[in-house]
């Protein structure tokens, strides 16, 4: 069992990292292996950081032999993904959008079908676009055929759409609690659906 955190923030140390790491630590506590990927750092290492839609299906020519190839191979072997982004104009960061657009090859190969996904977001204010950002992440996951998890139970609330924090996330106790619940939920659902990914 492996769950990967995809960090869409341009800052390695910040609110998104804290929220994602909290969720990943909770998933680790459920007996899963975890890893965090910083998309901004990956984009800095490739010549073309965004998808040009050069062909359909994606031939992967733009990133073959680069760090992107290794990262996408890792994503294609994951049981769960926790995707986090700061809110930029009510949406995900440009870094996360650019990174995810380059997963077209995974969609062609159906590598993310039935992979379990959870979303996390951080905004500058209590009502700072977190939910629209979470829904944007869900949309990306749904196009890949992933299993999206949101709220849990009335007494085990991961947030209706995922974990959402207000800056500074370290002071947002509700968000940190929900990140823990979301991490556990992704791990639990991923374990329960293992057979659905056996064909990969």
Cα angle value 23/71/119 (rounded, 5°): 30
DSSP structure string for 76-126:
TT-SEEEEEEE-BTTB--HHHHHHHHTTHHHHHTTTTTT-EEEEEEEESST
Strands 80-86 and 33-38: unpaired
Residue 22 within a domain: yes
Residue 91 within a domain: yes
Number of domains in the chain: 1
Find the domain containing 118 and state its range. 6-194
Q: What is the pTM of this model?
A: 0.94
Residue 167 within a domain: yes
Residue 78 within a domain: yes
Residue 26 within a domain: yes
Distance CA 108, CA 145 (A): 11
> Cα 1 to chain center, whole Å?
16
Residue 45 within a domain: yes
Give me the CATH number covering residue 179: 3.40.50.360
Enter the tokens of residue 35: 């890893």
Residue 1 within a domain: no
Residue (of 104, 105, 159) closest to 135 by Cα position? 159
Residue 199 within a domain: no
Asked if 133 and 123 count as a contact pair (C-beta separation under 8 A), the reply is yes
pLDDT in tens, the chain (200 residues): 999 999 999 999 999 999 999 999 999 999 999 999 999 999 998 887 887 778 788 877 787 888 888 999 999 999 999 999 999 999 999 999 999 999 998 999 999 999 999 999 999 988 899 999 999 999 999 999 999 998 776 567 777 889 998 898 888 898 999 999 999 999 999 999 999 998 77
Q: What's residue 65's pLDDT?
A: 85
């Amino acid at each position: 069992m492996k769950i990967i955190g995809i960090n869409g923030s341009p800052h390695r140390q910040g609110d998104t990292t804290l929220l994602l790491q909290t969720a990943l630590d909770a998933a680790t506590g459920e007996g899963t292996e975890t890893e965090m990927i910083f998309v901004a750092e990956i984009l800095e290492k490739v010549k073309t950081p965004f998808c040009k839609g050069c062909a359909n299906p994606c031939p992967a020519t733009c990133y073959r032999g680069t760090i992107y190839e290794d990262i996408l191979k890792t994503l294609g072997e994951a049981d769960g993904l926790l995707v986090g982004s700061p809110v930029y104009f009510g949406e995900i960061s440009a870094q996360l959008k650019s990174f995810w657009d380059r997963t077209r090859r995974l969609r062609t190969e159906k590598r993310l079908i039935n992979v379990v996904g959870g979303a996390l977001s951080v905004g500058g204010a209590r009502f700072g676009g977190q939910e629209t950002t979470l829904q944007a992440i869900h949309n990306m996951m749904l196009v890949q055929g992933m299993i999206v998890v949101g709220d849990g139970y009335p007494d085990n609330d991961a947030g209706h759409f995922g974990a959402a924090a207000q800056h500074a996330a370290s002071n947002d106790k509700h968000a940190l609690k929900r990140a823990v619940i979301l991490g556990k939920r992704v791990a639990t659902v991923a374990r329960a659906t293992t057979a659905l990914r056996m064909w990969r």
